[in-house]
A and B are shown apart, each in its own frame.
Chain A
């Protein structure tokens, strides 16, 4: 005998409504084109970005190319042998000092420059001039450091370069100076060339932020008698503080991690004679890994640097959250 149908069950039975899995599968079916679109990226990322992440494990091994990941023995000191080697390496102090010094110098001296450029450009009313300046100053960003480095070598050359030529004819120097051959000139060269190359381009974002400021603010300030500097200090700067802070955090991480531009720049400009100031952590790892085939050692250095950059990024983010109310995450 069938159990009595409860009185509240008035609609058809549940298997007339598709199950949740059915629905989800049907949705996936409709979306299949979209998933297909994402597929190449997923494959590429797994192959190119995720697989090497596993390879980090060799930092804790005595990696042998012939034995591979699974055959190589673990390094001593519970796998931390290479880290100890790095910290006790005589070059460690020099490498860390160079890396930190250039990072700090760039952060303090270089990152404000695009903001200054944007502020100055903002004061120009004559648009054609503005556009010409922008076109000209954005250009060096798109030229590779290979070319720029080559130019620098040429201009600073003791015999053929015009810098020495000018110094001699103007009587400022008695003998030609081998700029690229001495460690003490390296940082000024790096800073100047970096400012020259990227300031224009970096100012785009600031200009975008400045153009987003409500013009009525300027209007009312002008009516109250505010001049150019007052307007800049009391309106422009506060309104763009958010953008500056975010970009500053990003620069922190980028510079410390020897981000693309710094690495390429140092790769080209450093040579055996200015090593004392030009050997930064990435270059050191590069040489150790590729010239001395110390794979595990180089990987350990890279891992150390990654962790350091991550810590720096998170700290910068935290500090800016506390002070400026803005953060990246």
Chain B
């Protein structure tokens, strides 16, 4: 006898819906909470808890963020490394994935071994640090770019996708006299936009969120990023550091308020871009993963 929906189903259905709504709410509310807290007057924050609406609406925290030179510099540096890093990484990944996709390339096995070993084995933190110093990369902008130029994860996804596109496109182009670089840029890349968008999003987010490399592989203030600045403040136990955060002119501001505004600035780009690209990256992952 065919199964029919019974009352029990509606109950479980209801439970599922409730659970999902609760979980979704819990992932969205915190960011709303930072927003209203950061839009509150600093002294109001100490007087009571802010839940739904700003208490004593004020833009003073944001004014501090955008006028404090340290914070502005950090923001610019974050933007710079995100754009440069994402672009260069995606570009390089296209090159490698396209080149290594054909099984008939000379030394292909050798290349693959070279690419695979670092996934499982690495030098460790101190040797990496010492190596950066040796190469004079310590405290340079390149420290943000070079280590992430190749990622095995993106490699697998891209290669799977390129191979899915089939050989006929490439054969036809070769007959027309196109060189490999042209085939890659005019044919393969335009046709892989969903996957490229997914990888760009991932790498962009990784670059934007990175803080450890700034903290341990750089020393000058010019290279400080937004996340690193926040990390320093949050993990520091001295109140002096948090006081200085808001800057001299803003000593009357609640440093927590300024910290919240900074956190908002550090989170907003992701929150904005993310929904639009979400459909791309889900498709990208599914394409790559289902092929496994």
Chain A residues near B (Cβ < 8 Å): 24, 27-28, 31, 33-35, 37-38, 40-42, 44-45, 47-56, 58, 117, 120-121, 123-124, 129, 132-140, 142-144, 146-147, 149-151, 153-154, 159-162, 165, 196, 199-200, 204-205, 208, 211-212, 222-223, 225-228, 264, 267-268, 271-272, 285-286, 289-290, 295, 298-299, 302-303, 306, 310, 313
Contacts and interface: CB of A to CB of B under 8 A. Distances in A.
Given A31-B105, A49-B118, A200-B27, A139 B271 contact: yes
A6 B275 CA distance: 78
Given A37-B95, A223-B2, A147 B267 contact: yes
B285 A208 contact: yes
B290 A52 contact: no
A38 B100 contact: yes
Contacts of B99: 34-35, 37-38
A133 B267 CA distance: 20
B186 to A, nearest CB: 14
A165 B271 CA distance: 28
12 contacts: A42-B111, A45-B118, A52-B128, A52-B130, A55-B127, A58-B130, A142-B209, A142-B274, A146-B234, A151-B263, A225-B3, A299-B126
A120 B49 contact: no
B106 interface: yes
Given A48-B146, A123-B16, A299-B124, 6 more contacts: A33-B180, A41-B92, A41-B149, A45-B150, A51-B131, A142-B205
Interface of B: 1-3, 6, 8-9, 12-13, 16-17, 19-21, 23-28, 30-31, 33-34, 45-46, 49, 51, 92, 95-96, 98-100, 102, 105-106, 111, 114-115, 118, 120-131, 134-135, 146-147, 149-150, 179-181, 184, 205, 208-212, 216, 227, 230-231, 234-235, 237, 256, 259-260, 263, 266-267, 270-271, 274-275, 278, 282, 285-286, 289-290
B159 to A, nearest CB: 12
B62 to A, nearest CB: 17
B131 A133 contact: no
Contacts of A37: 95-96, 98-99, 180-181, 184
B275 A165 contact: no
Given A41-B92, A136-B27, A151-B30, A146 B209 contact: yes
Contact of A150 (B126, B129, B259): B259
B34 A151 contact: yes
Given A41-B115, A160-B46, A124 B20 contact: yes
Contacts of A302: 124-126
B122 A306 contact: yes
Contacts of A204: 282, 285-286
Nearest to A50: B118
Report, nearest first, the 3 A-B pairs whose CB atoms are least far apart. Answer: A52-B123, A55-B127, A144-B209
B125 A228 contact: no
Given A38-B96, A227-B3, A267 B34 contact: no
Contact of B121 (A53, A151, A226): A53
Contacts of B125: 285-286, 289, 298, 302
B278 A138 contact: yes
Q: Is the interface of A mostly helix, strand, loop or mixed?
A: helix
A33 B28 CA distance: 48
Most buried by A among B3, B19, B105, B127: B127
B285 A142 contact: no
A55 B123 contact: yes
Contact of A49 (B123, B205, B260): B123
A33 B181 contact: yes
Contact of B230 (A28, A129, A134, A150): A150
B2 A34 contact: no
A165 B235 contact: no
Contact of B114 (A35, A42, A51): A42
Contacts of A24: 106
A52 B100 contact: no
Contacts of A313: 120
Contacts of A228: 9, 12
B150 A41 contact: yes
B2 A225 contact: yes
B212 A264 contact: yes
A289 to B, nearest CB: 5
A290 B27 CA distance: 35
B122 A52 contact: yes
Contact of A133 (B9, B20, B102, B130): B20
B237 to A, nearest CB: 6
Given A38-B96, A42-B114, A295-B130, A154 B256 contact: yes
A186 B96 CA distance: 43
Contacts of B263: 147, 150-151
A52 B27 CA distance: 39
Contacts of B227: 144, 146-147
